[in-house]
Structure 1
């Protein structure tokens, strides 16, 4: 191929491209206008969506996420519209197919992250817990320090910070002590069989009625629960006007001190456990076999002699 043929070929190519450019010029102008207009509308919709979502959810991270998601969706619609105007339908089809395959692969690879993420969204809308609540989740009790889209952070009362994935928070029972701002303290006590139970009940209730943080609207109750081995068992139930652990423990400690003092002043006995040892039971050894029979026999004989001498 000489220089003339090369020049002619290049000229033909440029001429053809020029004709195609002139033919597509209106579409290019329209695509540019749609692209600029689409970006402008997407920003406007993101702003409006952020305001609307803020009325439903007070989680700033979640609000920004939803607003950004809506913005990306409208940008995607704008880009696909522009490609269609430019007659690049095959490119649009290829992009959609690639996006579908990529989304499927990511869904399998990050399914745990996706589950925690969706659980965080549901938690943000349902609001079963919020920062500052005293909760018990999966055996961990403490104050909620942070609720984000992936996990929930709890400052436990024993010191450690526990990070629980939102999937576990969403799928497990949540004990929220702050919602009602009340906690019940149950104190189990045993009194002697020889004590007057009516007196025990009155003395016990009088001992705890003036504790500072006990509820004034929900009265303290006392129930006798069972006949124990060496005591009659009762349960005192006190409602506390706070969910704070420090107050809960303080009320319990003060109740124990007051009840013990009141029992001592009124001759009410909290008996020690009584155990009976039977050495002659079937399969065991008798006292005689253990050599204790002779000792006991000598003691009985000595006691009898002493009795006779005193007589």
Structure 2
């Protein structure tokens, strides 16, 4: 029994020694492989940066430039890693990686279907998309400014300061509302006057105020207008629509709307138009004979 244990120990020692000597023999090639990977990282970064600059001179598209730059960097780095494995004498591992990647493509496709779908969607969005960086969009129920498109997601910055990462597949599938693609946006608001007031004079006054407000825009394609929206319980309501020319759907555009609403209200009051409040109905119940309220002058 002792002889068997001793024999196993000797065989194990011999095996370890052989593997150690084999490792020592491969140390130079392993070191060279590590150096190749390091050089590959440096070269891929430099080439990616140079290509970004070259593309930027011909294409003013930040998203496409970033996407292509990252794709080229990953591709070059992958080639350097495969070459480093061969230099290190690990051809079998390199071949195995390629073989496994091909053989397991279907399995990986099912296991990481969402990742693959988002990746393909990211490629589509980079070359054919409904928005650019810094444009204001609404995707589903998310409203904000586009900051970037990555391989798997699109990043939006909402106007209340939140960063939202939307899967690219959702961007492809859901309706996308672009508020600033051409630089024009229309605002609408309601204003009501009393029934005894003159509708035509009120509309003329409102449109004059709107068109004279700084920041409001109008041309042959973009018309400001006002319509009688409804005959409400105690007011005649107008819908006022006007355009602003701005790529910044945020503070600037909202401030213009605020100025328009304020100017319309002040002008109507100044010209003697009534802006009735909501009418409240009071009822007496049971043995009540009078309202428990008192009017003070």
TM range (shorter): 0.5 to 0.7
Contact 1:146 1:153 in 2 (8 A): yes
2:67 is matched with which residue: 40, 46, 61? Answer: 61
Q: 1:219 to 1:100 in 2, by over 3 A?
A: closer
Secondary structure of the structure 2 residue equivalent to 1:203: helix
**2:21 — aligned with what?**
none
Q: 2:265 aligns with which of 260, 264, 271?
A: 260
Determine whether 1:234 maps to 2:234.
no
Change (3 A) 1:103 1:184: same
Q: Indicate whether 1:221 and 2:225 are aligned.
A: yes
**How far apart, CA to CA, are the structure 1 residues paired with 2:66 and 2:271?**
60
Q: What is the distance in 2 between the residues matched to 1:243 and 1:125?
A: 22
TM-score under structure 1 length normalisation = 0.62
| 1:96 CA drift (Å) | 8.6
Specify the SS of the correspondent of 2:148.
strand
Identify the residue that residue 270 of structure 1 maps to in structure 2.
275
The Cα shift of 1:61 comes to 2.9
Deviation string, structure 1 residues 3-48 (Cα, Å, up to 9, x no partner): xxxxxxxxxxxxxxxxxxxxxxxxxxxxxxxxxxxxxxxxxxx99x
The corresponding residue for 1:172 is 174
Q: Is the 8 A contact 1:191 1:270 kept in 2?
A: yes
Which one has the largest radius of gyration? 1
Which secondary structure does the structure 2 equivalent of 1:292 belong to?
Answer: coil
Match of 1:149 in 2: 151
Higher relative contact order (CA 8 A, sep 6+): 2
- In the alignment, is the contact (CA less than 8 A) between 1:188 and 1:233 conserved in 2? yes
> Offset at 1:198?
0.8
> Which residue pairs with 1:130 in the alignment?
132
Structure 1 residues 35-114: aligned runs within 5 Å: 58-62=64-68, 65=71, 99-114=101-116
Q: CA deviation at 1:121?
A: 0.4
CA RMSD of the aligned region, Å? Answer: 3.2
Q: TM-score, normalization: structure 2?
A: 0.65
Secondary structure in 2 matching 1:141: strand
Unaligned runs of 5+ in 2: 1-46, 83-94, 292-297
Which secondary structure state, in structure 1, belongs to the residue aligned with residue 217 of structure 2? coil
**Secondary structure of the equivalent of 2:215?**
coil
SS across alignment from 1:238? strand
- Spell out, residue by residue over 1:169-191, the C-alpha distance to the aligned partner (whole angstroms, 9 max, x if none): 11111111221111111011111
Partner of residue 38, structure 2: none
Contact 2:67 2:126 (8 Å CA) reproduced: no
Deviations 1:252-298 (A, max 9, x none): 1111211111111111111111133455xxxxxxx4xx2213x58xx
Gaps in structure 1 of 5+ consecutive residues: 1-45, 77-91, 280-286, 297-311
- Inter-partner Cα distance in structure 2 for 1:199 and 1:95: 79
